[in-house]
């Protein structure tokens, strides 16, 4: 099933306070084991629009706007992977989720890996989707957001959407207008620029991902004892597909699926295939 054949209404927005940070989340499903969906840097829960209901048929599924993203608060604080992992821990504690399967895309995948280092007993399974953490290589656009002068020039507008689609998706023209209209108000939140710079400087420099960010993750991969599903877009322009193979070779109980003709967001470009793959993995 291609994305254009899917129609999905967003779940109702819910809010919870985590460390005095107002945090937006979605929750669907009352049965089965918990799943938590983590979007990428400066993303939002709208990225999971075509996945949450399908996964919630058999599971309790949560997706939340990570601190400094979406409609959650934008505090002045550190946005390192470790700090974001602690925020994830706070989210789980607030909703009394003892253990969960964690599904993370891009920076969200880095947060999943950092959380697994800190709290391995609270993780059932991992799904890493075009995740950061396996090397320094990352797109030029991400490296440039470490520069205040560059970030200061960012002015949210619809004119930026074509460039975003070209960099993030194999074929951005396939994305339905309903998703773009849902996502655009989040994309245009003025406070994003301030946090974009903080995220950039916490994790990257002009050479790529900071060594102190990705090297401890690489060292920890052989210690991951949980079943791990690695999903990647073959033509990811943000994080190269070779990182998928690095992860698969290093994580003991892992399986790798590379989506052809796909960019940085397989769950959004091929949601039906992604959902079936994850549900099968959960049922194993």
Q: What is the pLDDT of residues 251-281, one digit of tens each?
A: 999 999 999 999 999 999 999 999 999 999 9
Residue 158's pLDDT band (cuts 50, 70, 90) = low
Give the range among 21-30, 51-60, 166-175 with minimum mean pLDDT. 166-175
pLDDT at 127: 98
Flag whether pLDDT at 142 surpasses 60: yes
- Residue ranges of the alpha helices (H) in the chain? 52-55, 81-94, 107-118, 140-144, 148-152, 161-168, 177-187, 192-203, 211-220, 242-250, 266-269, 271-283
Flag whether pLDDT at 7 surpasses 60: no
pLDDT at 196: 86
- pLDDT tens profile 179-191: 888 888 887 787 7
Instruction: Specify the higher pLDDT residue, 196 or 160.
Output: 196
For residue 239, report the phi and psi dihedrals to the nearest 5 degrees. -130, 120
pLDDT at 155: 66
For residue 105, report the phi and psi dihedrals to the nearest 5 degrees. -110, 135
Give the range among 57-61, 74-78, 154-158 with minimum mean pLDDT. 154-158
Mean pLDDT for all residues in the chain: 92
| Rounded CA separation 162/102 (Å) | 30
Percentage of residues of the chain with pLDDT beyond 70: 94
| Rounded CA separation 203/201 (Å) | 6
> Could you tell me which residues are beta bridge partners of residue 205?
208
pLDDT at 148: 85
Residue 74's pLDDT band (cuts 50, 70, 90) = very high
- In 3D, which of 144, 154, 146, 147 has the Cα closest to residue 189? 154
- pLDDT tens profile 221-261: 999 999 999 999 999 999 999 999 999 999 999 999 999 99
Residue ranges of domains in the chain, CATH in brackets: 8-283 (3.40.50.1820)
pLDDT at 1: 40
Average of per-residue pLDDT across 157-178: 76
CB atoms within 10 A of CB 89: 16
pLDDT at 234: 97
Instruction: Specify the higher pLDDT residue, 181 or 134.
Output: 134
For residue 84, report the phi and psi dihedrals to the nearest 5 degrees. -70, -30
pLDDT at 241: 98
| Rounded CA separation 284/279 (Å) | 9
């Amino acid at each position: 099933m291609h994305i254009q054949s899917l129609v999905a209404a967003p779940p109702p927005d819910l809010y919870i306070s985590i460390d005095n940070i107002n945090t937006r989340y979605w929750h669907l499903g009352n049965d089965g084991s918990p799943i938590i969906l983590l979007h990428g840097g400066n993303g939002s829960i709208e990225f999971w629009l075509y996945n949450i209901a399908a996964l919630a048929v058999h599971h309790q599924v949560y997706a939340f706007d990570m601190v400094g993203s979406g409609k959650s608060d934008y505090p002045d604080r550190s946005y390192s992977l470790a700090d974001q992992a602690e925020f994830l821990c706070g989210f789980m504690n607030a909703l009394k989720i003892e253990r969960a399967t964690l599904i993370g895309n891009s920076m969200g995948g880095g947060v999943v890996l950092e959380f697994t280092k800190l709290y391995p007993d609270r993780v059932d399974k991992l799904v890493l989707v075009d995740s950061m953490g396996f090397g320094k290589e990352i797109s030029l656009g991400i490296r440039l957001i470490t520069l205040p002068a560059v970030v200061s020039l960012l002015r949210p507008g619809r004119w930026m959407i074509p460039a975003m689609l070209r960099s993030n998706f194999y074929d951005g023209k396939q994305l339905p207008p309903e998703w773009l209209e849902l996502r655009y108000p989040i994309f245009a939140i003025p406070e994003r620029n301030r946090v974009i710079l903080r995220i950039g400087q916490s994790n990257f420099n002009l050479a790529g991902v900071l060594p102190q960010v990705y090297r401890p993750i690489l060292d920890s991969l052989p210690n991951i004892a949980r079943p791990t599903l690695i999903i990647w877009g073959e033509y990811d322009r943000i994080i190269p597909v070779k990182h998928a193979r690095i992860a698969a070779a290093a994580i003991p109980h892992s399986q790798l699926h590379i989506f052809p003709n796909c960019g940085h967001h397989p769950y959004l470009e091929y949601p039906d295939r992604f959902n079936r793959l994850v549900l099968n993995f959960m049922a194993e």
